[in-house]
Amino acid sequence: MVNVVLISHTPDPERTIAAAARVSASPVSAVELLEKLTPDRVDRLIRRLLSSGHLSVFEHVSFTFAIEGISRVTSHQLVRHRLASYTQQSQRYVSLKEFNYITPATISDKPEWGDKYHEMVRAAHDLYLKMLDAGIPAEDARYVLPNAAETRLVMTMNARELIHACSLRLCLRAQWEIVELFEHIKAEVEKVAPRLGAELKPKCYRLGYCDEVQSCGIFPTRAELADKGERGK
């Protein structure tokens, strides 16, 4: 089961963003601006920055998460977000004698396929252990391990990239495991920066339409909107 813990973050992240935004048009320092920023002013300024697309100041704030209980399938998707830092448990240096793995619900819900799935994963792990016993290095024996293998990592991402990543990964058409991961990430951010956490949502909420070929149903696609507009003329 996925587990996400926010282990570090920029202190007072929302006020930091607001102060950084004010510096560009202020004769005083960021320190002085921080002292004058009330919660209401911070909230209004962040709303204005988001609506105008002035997102560079969000890069001054970062969050570091400890992530456990995800598969290698999902970690491979996660690291495609390149404006972040990752440190992942190594299958080269860690011998996985205790082996945990992820089973999709679509497989576990079908016992006949679930049995075959677990049999295959256990067979792969048994072969891995026999290779280790035969003196084959873990870095080579790991080649037989499936993508279902659980992994753990530490991820650091700035607020601008978090908004972007969530806009894609919280989409209901994204792969189920990475949606679950980013739901946990969003919940952790909301604990320390609720205003910022509220912006971690699928991009359709900001666009007002779905820009995919097929919508999940929350918003119509751009083509559907255009067709509706034509029929309304």
Do 13 and 80 share a structural domain?
Answer: yes
Q: Which amino acid, residue 62?
A: S
pLDDT score, position 24: 73
Task: Answer yes or no: do 9 and 81 share one domain.
Answer: yes
Separation of CA 128 from chain center: 30
What are 15's two structure tokens? 């006020």
Locate the DSSP E strands across the chain.
Answer: 3-9, 62-71, 84-88, 150-158
Give me the pLDDT at residue 226, please. 77
Residues with pLDDT less than 50, the chain: none
The share of the chain scoring above pLDDT 70, in percent, equals 96
Looking at the structure, tell me whether residues 138 and 155 fall in a common domain: no
Q: Domain with 48 in it: what CATH number? A: 3.30.1360.170
Same domain, 101 and 166: no
The confidence score (pLDDT) of residue 181 equals 98
Please indicate, yes or no, whether residues 158 and 209 belong to a single structural domain of this protein.
no
* 78 lies in the same domain as 22: yes
Domain count within the chain: 3
Please give the structure tokens belonging to residue 179.
Answer: 């949606």
pLDDT, residue 122, reads 97
- CB neighbour class for 174 (10 Å; exposed up to 12, middle 13-18, buried from 19): middle
Give residue 28's pLDDT: 67
Which residues are known catalytic residues? Answer: 169
* Same domain, residue pair 182 and 208: no
Residues 68 and 170 in one domain: yes
**Domain around 52:** 3-86+151-201
